[in-house]
């Protein structure tokens, strides 16, 4: 349920409404929009006298929200949410933000050259796995904390914010020490105690869609983080499992307009894991920008054939540069801004 307050509602009136809800044992989340203040009420509705609530001074409307997610819903927060990442990057505003880097951090030189090139092409956020969720226990698992340090140094050197995956509750503290944005991988999207812990992380979260998750399930996972206290969530479409085998996954680009209709949260697209093959990454990245994504996440590598993970889907630097130039044209054509090449 949400409570839409009168435009002229006073702070004192809003406080009384909030107090009434809390006294009934429900949670209240406040969203101050351009036009209205909206109170999202979470908990057992039967504990509240809705008619009495509707008559309280300052209340304009009491609206039931039928979706199983409330705080992630556009009903609760009509304006787009803009998530600040690091000191200067905003995701969900007018910029289409590019996150680029290798699948995994391998060496100081590999992440340094990747960061330098990504920054030169106009990317704003450096990616690179430190703790890798590999399907096989025998595949490269990442350099752990050493990778976090290398990633942070390379990001700082080139003015890039940093995103990397965190896989367990235990890792949240150390990853938060180095990263500006905490990535939840597809395999962890429905790890609910983990999501709840990320609600207290104090850092924005990049929540990737599970490979067998519906859009509604993605939004419910976001709800876990929101209701645990973290409003800064960026959603990511990265492909889902279907009967199609020609690509690694099936990149569901329709998720972009659907999520933007249902939710206020920003949405980016990862075409690299979506298609799994280098030659298909650029067309889908361009399509993602055209579909209205707030950003793209692309794997690049100085020498993809020697990459320790996901080489076949990693773009060469030249391919990435060409992609950036094309995406810039598409973004500006649809009225969005795009990082300038240096
Ligand atoms: C990744 O981005 O490094 C990754 C492992 O992606 P996903 O969780 O989408 O498979
Ligand atoms: Mn990868």
User: What is the tens place of the pLDDT at every residue in 226-235?
Assistant: 999 999 999 9
Average pLDDT over residues 305-325: 98
Which residue is listed with tokens 């890039």? Answer: 160
Q: What would the DSSP string read from start to end of 242-284?
A: -S--SSSSB--TTHHHHHHHHBSS-EEE-HHHHH-SHHHHHHH
Q: How many CB atoms lie within 10 A of CB 84?
A: 16
Helix (H) / strand (E) element for 326: namely helix 317-333
**Contact, 5 vs 37, CB < 8 A?**
yes
Q: Which residue range is the domain that position 293 belongs to?
A: 83-338
Does any domain span residue 283?
A: yes
In this predicted model, what pLDDT tens digit does every residue of 170-199 receive, in sequence order?
Answer: 999 999 999 999 999 999 999 999 999 999
Q: Same domain for 206 and 289?
A: yes
What are the residues whose beta carbon lies below 5 Å from ligand 2 (ion)?
103, 310
Looking at residue 45, what is its pLDDT?
A: 86
Closest atom of ligand 1 relative to the 272 alpha carbon = 2
User: What is the share, in percent, of the chain residues with pLDDT greater than 70?
Assistant: 100
Does any domain span residue 69?
A: no
Looking at residue 166, what is its pLDDT?
A: 98
Closest atom of ligand 1 relative to the 188 alpha carbon = 8
Q: Same domain for 37 and 88?
A: no
Closest atom of ligand 1 relative to the 310 alpha carbon = 3
Q: What is the pTM of this model?
A: 0.96
Q: Nearest-CA neighbor of 118 among 166, 169, 161?
A: 161
Residue 273 Cα to ligand 2 midpoint, Å, equals: 6
Q: What is the CATH number of the domain that holds 54?
A: 3.30.70.1140
In this predicted model, what pLDDT tens digit does every residue of 5-48 receive, in sequence order?
Answer: 999 999 999 999 999 999 999 999 999 998 899 999 998 888 99
In this predicted model, what pLDDT tens digit does every residue of 114-160 receive, in sequence order?
Answer: 999 999 999 999 999 999 999 999 999 999 999 999 999 999 999 99
Looking at residue 66, what is its pLDDT?
A: 82
Query: Per-residue pLDDT for 65 more than 90?
Result: no
Residue 215 Cα to ligand 1 midpoint, Å, equals: 17
Q: Same domain for 27 and 106?
A: no
Tell me the C-alpha distance between 131 and 272, whole Å. 18
Q: Same domain for 56 and 88?
A: no
Q: Same domain for 48 and 112?
A: no
Number of domains in the chain: 2
Neighbour-count burial of 145, counting CB atoms closer than 10 A to its CB (0-12 exposed, 13-18 middle, 19+ buried):
middle
Q: What lines the ligand 1 site, CB under 6 Å?
A: 103, 129, 133, 165, 185-187, 208, 238, 270, 273
Q: Nearest-CA neighbor of 298 among 306, 290, 317, 90?
A: 317
In this predicted model, what pLDDT tens digit does every residue of 82-91 receive, in sequence order?
Answer: 999 999 999 9
**Contact, 300 vs 99, CB < 8 A?**
no
Q: Same domain for 58 and 129?
A: no
Mean pLDDT of the chain: 97
Does any domain span residue 146?
A: yes
């Amino acid at each position: 349920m949400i409570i839409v307050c009168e435009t002229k509602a006073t702070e004192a009136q809003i406080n009384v409404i909030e107090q009434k809800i809390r006294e009934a044992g429900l949670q209240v989340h406040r969203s101050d929009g351009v036009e209205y203040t909206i109170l999202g009420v979470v908990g057992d509705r039967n504990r509240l006298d809705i008619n009495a609530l509707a008559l309280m001074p300052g209340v304009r409307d009491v609206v039931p929200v039928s979706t199983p997610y409330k705080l992630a819903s556009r009903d609760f927060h009509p304006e787009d949410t803009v998530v600040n990442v690091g000191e200067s990057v905003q995701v969900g505003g007018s910029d289409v933000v590019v996150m680029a880097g290798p699948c995994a951090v391998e060496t100081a030189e590999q992440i340094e050259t990747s960061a330098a090139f990504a920054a030169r092409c106009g990317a704003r956020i450096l990616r690179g796995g430190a703790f890798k969720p590999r399907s096989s226990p025998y595949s490269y698992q990442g350099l752990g904390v050493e990778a976090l340090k290398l990633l942070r140094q390379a990001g700082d050197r080139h003015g890039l914010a940093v995103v990397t995956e965190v896989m367990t509750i235990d890792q949240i503290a150390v990853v938060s020490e180095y990263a500006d944005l905490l990535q939840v991988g597809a395999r962890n999207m429905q790890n609910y105690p983990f999501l709840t812990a990320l609600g207290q992380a104090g850092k924005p979260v990049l929540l990737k869609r599970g490979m067998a998750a519906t859009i509604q399930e993605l939004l419910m996972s976001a709800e876990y983080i929101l209701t645990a206290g973290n409003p800064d969530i960026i959603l990511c479409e990265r492909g889902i499992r279907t009967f199609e085998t020609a690509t690694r996954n099936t990149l569901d680009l329709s998720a972009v307009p659907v999520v933007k209709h249902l939710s206020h949260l920003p949405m980016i697209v990862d075409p690299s894991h979506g298609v799994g093959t280098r030659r298909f990454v650029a067309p889908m990245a361009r399509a993602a920008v055209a579909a209205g994504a707030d950003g793209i996440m692309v794997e690049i590598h100085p020498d993809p054939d020697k990459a320790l993970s996901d080489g076949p889907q990693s773009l060469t630097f030249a391919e990435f540069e060409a992609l950036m130039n094309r995406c810039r044209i598409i973004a500006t054509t649809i009225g969005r801004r795009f990082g300038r090449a240096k």
